């Protein structure tokens, strides 16, 4: 069973609309949770990082939330732009070990 599950697998939205991507995890405890953005043909780039005790973290139009009780994280994108088209990857750092990657959500923003 995957320790980090992301949903939906893919998503298409119109430019200017908001969207929310989900990350459910079973890893516990963990040191931090990151969201990475991966543009087509490029390597992933870190968007946000939250420690186990944080609830929310923003980076411009990107806001990540963390609910440790339900073991869920979400990435909310406000007023989407064409440049937001990418894969978004949820990554957990289990304390003292390597990273655990989700399979990602592919977002397409159309005009």
Chain residues that interact with another protein, rule: CB under 8 A: 4, 31-32, 34, 41-46, 49, 89, 93, 97-99, 101-104
Token pair 């990151």 in the structure block, residue: 34
Nearer to another protein, 42 or 61 (CB): 42
- Residue 11: name the closest of 84, 97, 79, 63 by CA: 84
Closest separation between CB of residue 24 and another protein, Å?
14
Burial class (CB in 10 A: 0-12, 13-18, 19+), 34: buried
Minimum Å distance from CB 70 to another protein? 22
Rounded to a whole number of angstroms, the minimum distance from the CB of residue 26 to another protein is: 15
- What tokens were used for 82? 């064409």
- Shorter beta-carbon distance to another protein: residue 4 or 109: 4
- Distance CA(37)–CA(29), nearest Å, equals 24
Nearer to another protein, 80 or 93 (CB): 93
């Amino acid at each position: 069973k995957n320790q980090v599950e992301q949903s939906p697998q893919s998503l298409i939205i119109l430019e200017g609309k908001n969207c929310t991507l989900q990350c459910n995890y079973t890893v516990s405890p963990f040191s931090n949770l990151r969201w990475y953005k991966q543009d087509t043909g490029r390597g992933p780039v870190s968007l946000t990082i939250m420690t186990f005790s944080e609830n929310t973290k923003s980076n411009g139009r990107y806001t990540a939330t963390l609910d440790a009780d339900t073991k869920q994280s979400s990435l909310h994108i406000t007023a989407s732009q064409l440049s937001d088209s990418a894969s978004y990857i949820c990554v957990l750092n289990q304390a003292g070990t390597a990273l655990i990657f989700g399979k990602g959500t592919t977002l397409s923003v159309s005009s």
